[in-house]
Amino acid sequence: MILYEYPFTERIRTLLRLEDLFDRLDFFLGREEPQCHHTALTTLFEVLDVAGRADLKSDLLQELERQRQTLTSFRNNPAVKEEALEKVVREIETATSSLANVTGKTGQHLRDHEWLTSIRSRSIIPGGTCEFDLPSYHAWLHRPAASRLRDLESWVGPLNPLRDCLRIVLNLLRQSGQETHIVAAQGSFQQMLGGKSYHMLRVVLDEDLGAIPEISANRYMIWVRFTTQDGGDLRPRPYDSDVPFDLVLCNL
């Protein structure tokens, strides 16, 4: 199965982008090759760009506090497992406390790092980090892998509270929806929402179908139109058969 997620709001769009970047960062941090650590560092710069929104930290803190209050209202509810509830509440409280204790703008420690700033400014230029442009960076890439990894982890570490908070928010969002099985007749599906607001739509389908969802949505309706890629040019073409898929509408 293959999963597609479509954010309805700019805030969720930002969180999904950060989640994708952190996943990529983890992958390349798990390797030892200099080229992988170079990609990890340039990915870190992308995280810095996306996380630079001034209101991201406050948005996350407000959302987690709202979720904490909602969850604590379920205490002593016989339909709710008390142990699981308390575990989630403690996780929220720990993550919130860690993020609240981070001073200054997100990633400020990276912006204040003169050497990293010089690399960041060159990395936006195609091929701009070659050894003749940045000999000190070339030397760093030739250090032992363990040494490079220690540096990278020290630069990533202050961003972990942000990562923990966005992970909790996205997990709560994903768990809020109920899966509905749909068949898109002739590769097209529309559904009216009646003005009810959602934060994210999820589409799950069999990847062997070769169907690719193109999603449009607003507060009134959603439209999923499936395409396929055949031929060497990989240009999307309409999928003209029925497409079975699972639809999940998520709302915090």
The reported pTM is 0.88
CA 128 to chain centroid = 27
Which amino acid, 227? T
* pLDDT value of residue 231: 67
Helix (H, G, I), strand (E, B) or coil at 217: strand
> Where do the domains of the chain lie, and which CATH numbers do they carry?
2-171 (1.10.3900.10), 177-250 (2.60.440.10)
Token readout for 124 is 């936006």
* pLDDT value of residue 251: 86
Say which residues have a Cβ less than 8 Å from residue 120's Cβ, sequence separation at least 6: 45, 48, 110
The phi, psi pair for 54, rounded to 5°, reads -65, -30
**In 3D, which of 125, 116, 65, 53 has the Cα closest to residue 95?**
65
Q: Which pLDDT tens digits describe the chain residue by residue (252 residues)?
A: 899 999 988 889 999 999 999 999 999 999 999 999 999 999 999 999 998 876 888 889 888 888 888 888 777 677 677 777 788 888 888 888 888 888 878 888 899 999 999 999 999 898 888 888 899 999 999 999 999 999 999 999 999 999 999 999 999 899 888 888 989 888 889 888 877 888 899 999 988 888 889 988 877 888 999 988 876 677 888 888 888 999 999 988
Which amino acid, 52? G
* pLDDT value of residue 79: 66
Nearest-Å Rg of the Cα atoms of the chain is: 22
